Structure 1
């Protein structure tokens, strides 16, 4: 049994691709060190719309992945051979799922109640739905969605800064930790989502909510904006 953060980013920024490519190996090393300190066994690097192979880490297993920006929201693709690059907004969710499966990867609905309407598509063969570390208060809604779709839940921190890694993670039942074994476990339902409730994580969530309020960013629980938010009622524990 292994603990894996299935949603992390190796850089603090999305623009300046050339600069970012130079930074990514350094960012991955920092993520790996902090993931080890968190007690994780592995993490997937899922940068926005590109994947760059990274050197193996001595601390944790680094799993290949990409976060694809479709025309309806984000899809995590994790497995042995994710696409190297996608154009933001060009693919539909169906095309992203097909691409993932063609490359022997798992296709996961990322943060379904934040800036996404993918949850409205009922017939797509996704492999799992994510409990996202940025908005764990939406978990009851995510659990209901996963039950309706008969899909397993996985956890990912959505870390853009190294100290965020492990806020949410996935317990993977497997004999060994490889990209292939993680994909098999997800498809077989041998995974479960966990959310960290450490003091640091509770403080981070309160701080981020305050920042988002100042920036007037839509909260997926408290703002029922059609296509983005959800009905209020859930509270973070």
Structure 2
């Protein structure tokens, strides 16, 4: 498996508030160290044709110069919440003219699933009209728990913390039932300098639309605040190993949790289980270290990690590893 960085919530001048052309977005994505992006304009798929003119592909090949894969998608803006449709067919438009009381959401989710796409609950705690997500997560594949910069001088600080807390609380029951929804992080780019803050790092064998979507769908991914941050998180029980999004059969043996972090000077690494915060470690001034912790499947049905900067802002967070 290789790790590929991508931003699946990006707006150009084709969306309200967008100030960049697709060409500018592509250049900024490369400069930010991204391997893939998704075009997700508000209730329009005009971005599909615009990106196609750049040589972009939603299939098994990447863009014309071979260094940026572009997924076709849409931000579906409804009266009572926004969601991302990722992996759409070229020109496929998803209706957003409804609210939670209309009870029509399921058929629109089904239209995305029929073409192998993903449905993502977007910025569920956004504090503006229609932005707060009022639908149940049932039927959605992924939850966007990190949207935009995780900084205290913008309202998204509280929104991201609330989205992460809500998702984190649901993991215990969802993992126990064998069906949990992965977390994703995106920039929701509208302006210059925003793309990649945050983004999702996906493990796949190759860089294609199908493999990226599958990696996100199965939770083989973690979220980074920038390309300067690196996280390698895994668990082992004897000779058996598992990585992010995978299941580790411990066969009753202790599970050793290992998190290798780079790029977060003086930061903090925390390990979370169904019982909440289980372990904390401080990173050195270099920002690089390996954190080890031991548990057992009887104590922890899953483990996940968060990495925060010295000021408390998020630097990286992972999807869980399931322990049995």
What is the TM-score with the length of structure 2 in the denominator?
0.53
- 1:8 maps to 10
What displacement does 1:146 show? 2.1
Answer yes or no: is 1:188 the counterpart of 2:218: yes
Question: Shift of the alpha carbon at 1:117?
Answer: 4.3
The CA deviation at 1:9 is: 0.9
1:102 maps to which of 108, 111, 114: 114
Q: Does the CA-based 8 Å contact 1:4-1:169 persist in structure 2?
A: yes
Match of 2:160 in 1: 139
Change (3 A) 1:12 1:120: closer
- Cα shift at 1:192: 1.8
Instruction: From the two aligned structures, give the one with the greater strand fraction.
Output: 2
Gaps of 5+ in 1: 199-234
* C-alpha contact (below 8 Å) 2:125/2:133 kept by paired residues: no
**Alpha carbons of structure 1 residues 3 and 119: separation in structure 2 relative to 1, 3 Å:** farther
Q: SS of the counterpart of 2:204? A: coil
Runs ≥4 residues deviating over 6 A: none
Conserved? CA contact 1:157–1:168, under 8 Å: yes
Mapping for residues 1-237 of structure 1, pairs under 5 Å = 1-11=3-13, 13-14=15-16, 27-51=21-45, 52-53=48-49, 54=52, 55-56=55-56, 57=63, 58=65, 59-81=67-89, 84-90=92-98, 92-114=104-126, 115-118=130-133, 121-122=136-137, 124-130=138-144, 131-133=146-148, 135-147=156-168, 148=170, 150-196=180-226, 237=313
Contact preservation (8 Å) 2:76, 2:82: yes
* CA shift for structure 1 position 70: 2.3
* Higher RCO (C-alpha 8 Å, min separation 6): 1
In the comparison of the two structures, how many residue pairs are matched?
Answer: 192
Does structure 1 conserve the Cα–Cα contact (< 8 Å) formed by 2:186 and 2:199?
yes
Q: 1:9 to 1:139 in 2, by over 3 A?
A: same
Choose 1 or 2 for highest CA Rg. 2
TM-score by length of 1: 0.70
1:139/1:90 CA distance change after superposition, 3 Å: closer
Q: CA 1:12/1:70 → structure 2, altered by over 3 Å: closer, same or farther?
A: closer
SS in 2 for 1:111: coil
Q: Name the CA shift for 1:60/1:34 in 2 (closer, same or farther; >3 Å).
A: same
- Match of residue 232 from structure 1: none
Greater percentage in helix: 1
CA change 1:197–1:63 in 2 (3 A) is: closer
C-alpha displacement at 1:144, in angstroms?
A: 2.5
The CA distance in 2 between the partners of 1:14 and 1:139, in whole Å, is: 22
